[in-house]
Amino acid sequence: MKKCLLAFAVVLLISGCSTTPEVSQNIETLDPIETVDAVDSVTLKFFTFTLPSGWKLISQTDSTAKISIPNYESYELSLDMSLIQSFDEESAPTSEDTVKTTDEGVQIYKIGCGGVFDCGNLAAFGDVFEYTFDIESTEPVPADLDGVWAPNSSVSHDDIDAFIATVKPTFGSDWAMLDQGDFTLYAPSGWLLTPEQGIDSYVGTVSGNGINLKYAYGDNVAALSSDSEYVASEYSVTNDTFNSQMVTIYTPKLSGTGNMEIYFESPRGEGNFILFGENLTSDQEALALQIFDTINFKQ
């Protein structure tokens, strides 16, 4: 749910130096930033972060968030946050890199970056995640700018570090990654991913705790039709964004009947993907949703 909130927003990259502009005497009155229903946290990928006082969530997807922060003079400010999964083995932390390890086992560290306001890395569940922050502001760029410039902001790098330090995993630390080759997902310890023989697609099961989730990945894989009268009467249909990819989630209106499934259309430019469970109880549906949220396709 993205909104065009800032009439003349300027996105600027920060490399550590700035100049202080003269403040215009004719500042246009701005409408207040419209935020989503009041929340005190942001959840991206498999992590939840607690918002500091004065920060407000404007919008978010599975891996990005726009956060309103206290303004500077008459300017409206927001942080654009991104959290992406990395398959670069060289980005894995060493003991020298680690800044902090949380009680839940999440490593917070920095190995260097450029071109953004702030950035760093998280390591958990045997995987690496990169976070970045950019500042968006209605402050005009100085007319005589000669070099790199950054908008004035009330948020410091220490504030970002404190925000990141609130990280908690959205599921238990005993979850483990299951790797099919084309995609990965996380599931509770002891779950198994078992490939099976398919005809025109890759198929298999993800199973554990008495639950069998089935997957199929190929050109002929299709989801339930959202235009179907049956689907409309029997299912709740939700469209969302995972890693900048549109997905559709089908949840039976009556637990224990039908398929609960997630559908990706051409997640890597070819072939469609579906993961579903049959006749799940409400508790099993809640667990399946957590697993759905961890699916990531290798590029």
Cβ neighbours of 144 (radius 10 Å): 8
All structural domains of the chain: 10-169 (no CATH), 176-297 (3.40.1000)
Summarize pLDDT for 111-149 with one digit per residue, the tens. 777 778 899 999 887 778 899 999 999 888 888 888 777
Give the bridge partners for 78, in sequence order. 68, 136
Single pTM value for the model: 0.60
Summarize pLDDT for 22-76 with one digit per residue, the tens. 333 333 333 444 544 557 899 998 899 999 999 999 999 888 999 999 887 788 8
Q: Give me the pLDDT at residue 113, please.
A: 73
Taking the C-alpha atoms of residue 5 and residue 243, their distance in angstroms, rounded to an integer, is: 23
Q: Give me the pLDDT at residue 244, please.
A: 62
Cβ neighbours of 268 (radius 10 Å): 14
Summarize pLDDT for 185-210 with one digit per residue, the tens. 889 989 999 999 888 889 999 999 99
